């Protein structure tokens, strides 16, 4: 069955706890509903194909070789549903910048999986889809915590601890985030490996830093639930400082974070894998334009806005 609307999935941003979440500390992430990946199927006569800008791949169901993340996504869906590949071309398009900490890989795979389910007239519930997309995430990130696929598949704010049941996050008072893009693509896999290296070389120094991030995340959850935005902003700043100590910031990220704070943001920090990619700033609506202008002045190549709650 060819659906009339494209299937889709949102981008995500991590508010607190990236990197430490890999070491089983809690983290908080929210979907960005306005920034999405889409997948749309059209009939063809030559088996299952996946296309995107600069990409046209046939899906070979008889291989165990990990070739392309999108081919793997399709194979996992077919295997889960015990289905044969349909004669369709699924075209992917995405507004989410790649390699920038916004979950582009997980969003594209999730949209593709949903479009394929639609074509087959079958459903995979979010719990199973999340497990499936996590398998694909391993291609992108090596040893992912699972937070990206979880927030993207469920499309709701999450308080996430690796391998624990998902906890929903209540939002006491809606708030506005600006997402500032440094324009530098960055490999999450490399940043995670960098922190691993640091940890293995000096666990006595690094473990307390990870514990301190975990403590910040617990306080942040309470601040979000109580609508205490001033406290939330301060916690963002402390989280950023610890991420910098973990070597995952960059001069550009530090510049954008400082510019946002100077222009009146309640707090700012890098978001996601770091070493490039994006930062976030918590702003009161009346200062939004001012902070946005300061971020552009300080070198942001793109600004996205999202309302949380």
Residues known to be catalytic: 148
Q: How many whole angstroms separate alpha carbon 180 and alpha carbon 1?
A: 40
The DSSP code sequence of 245-296 is HTT---HHHHHHHHHHHHTT-SEEEEESS-SSSEEEEEE-GGGHHHHHHHHH
Does position 272 interact with ligand MEV (CB under 6 A)? The reply is yes
Does position 292 interact with ligand MEV (CB under 6 A)? The reply is no
The minimum distance between CB 263 and ligand MEV, in angstroms, equals: 26
* Phi, psi (deg, nearest 5) at residue 14: -95, 120
Q: Which residue is nearest to ligand MEV (CB)?
A: 145
The minimum distance between CB 18 and ligand MEV, in angstroms, equals: 4
Among 6, 9, 16, 18, binds ligand MEV (CB under 6 A): 18
| 180 vs 273 by CB, closer to ligand MEV | 273
Site for ligand MEV, residues 30 to 89, rule: CB under 6 A = none
| 162 vs 219 by CB, closer to ligand MEV | 162
CA distance to 43, 76, 99, 105, per residue, from 273 (Å): 38, 26, 9, 13
> Which of 13-21, 63-71, 213-221, 293-301 is the region at the interface with ligand MEV (rule: CB under 6 A)?
13-21
The minimum distance between CB 44 and ligand MEV, in angstroms, equals: 34
Buried b (16+ CB within 10 A) or exposed e, 209-219: bbebbbebbbb
Q: How many whole angstroms separate alpha carbon 258 and alpha carbon 268?
A: 8
Q: Which helix (H) or strand (E) holds 138?
A: helix 126-141
CA distance to 8, 11, 30, 106, 107, per residue, from 94 (Å): 9, 10, 18, 11, 9
Site for ligand MEV, residues 187 to 226, rule: CB under 6 A = 188, 192
Does position 260 interact with ligand MEV (CB under 6 A)? The reply is no
The minimum distance between CB 166 and ligand MEV, in angstroms, equals: 14
Does position 21 interact with ligand MEV (CB under 6 A)? The reply is yes
The minimum distance between CB 152 and ligand MEV, in angstroms, equals: 10
Site for ligand MEV, residues 137 to 176, rule: CB under 6 A = 141, 144-145, 147-148
Per DSSP, the three-state class of 178 is: strand
The DSSP code sequence of 88-99 is EEEEEEE-SPTT
Residue 113's contacts (CB-CB under 8 Å, 6 or more residues apart) are: 73, 74, 76, 77, 124, 129, 132, 133
Among 7, 15, 22, 186, binds ligand MEV (CB under 6 A): 22
Q: How many C-beta neighbours within 10 Å does residue 189 have?
A: 15
The minimum distance between CB 226 and ligand MEV, in angstroms, equals: 25
Among 19, 75, 240, 269, binds ligand MEV (CB under 6 A): 19
| Residues lying near ligand MEV in the complex (CB under 6 A) | 14, 18-19, 21-22, 101, 141, 144-145, 147-148, 188, 192, 272-273
């Amino acid at each position: 069955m060819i659906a009339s609307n494209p299937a889709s999935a949102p981008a995500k941003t991590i508010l607190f706890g990236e990197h430490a979440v890999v070491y089983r500390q809690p983290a908080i992430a929210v979907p960005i509903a306005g920034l999405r990946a889409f997948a749309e199927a059209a009939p063809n006569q030559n088996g299952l194909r996946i296309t995107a800008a600069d990409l046209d791949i046939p899906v070979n169901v008889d291989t165990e070789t990990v070739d392309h993340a999108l081919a793997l996504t399709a194979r996992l869906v077919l295997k889960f549903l015990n289905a044969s590949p349909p004669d369709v071309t699924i075209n992917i398009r995405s507004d989410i910048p790649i390699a920038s900490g916004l979950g582009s890989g997980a969003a594209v795979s999730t949209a593709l999986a949903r479009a394929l389910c639609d074509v087959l007239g079958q459903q995979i519930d979010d719990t199973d889809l999340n497990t499936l997309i996590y398998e694909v995430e391993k291609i992108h990130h090596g040893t992912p915590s699972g937070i990206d696929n979880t927030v993207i598949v469920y499309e709701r704010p999450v308080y996430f601890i690796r391998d624990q049941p998902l906890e929903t996050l209540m939002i006491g008072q809606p708030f506005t985030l600006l997402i500032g893009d440094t324009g530098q693509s960055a490999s999450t896999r490399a940043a995670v490996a960098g922190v691993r290296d640091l940890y293995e070389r000096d666990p006595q120094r690094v473990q307390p830093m990870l514990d301190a991030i975990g403590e910040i995340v617990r306080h942040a959850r309470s601040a979000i639930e109580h609508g205490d935005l001033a406290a939330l902003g301060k916690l963002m700043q402390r989280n950023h400082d610890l991420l910098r100590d973990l070597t995952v910031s960059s001069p550009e990220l530090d510049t954008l974070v400082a510019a946002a704070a100077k222009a009146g943001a309640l707090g700012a920090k890098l978001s996601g894998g770091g070493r490039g990619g994006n930062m976030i700033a918590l702003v009161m609506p009346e200062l939004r334009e001012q902070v946005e202008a300061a971020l552009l002045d300080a070198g942001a190549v793109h600004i996205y806005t999202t309302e949380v709650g």
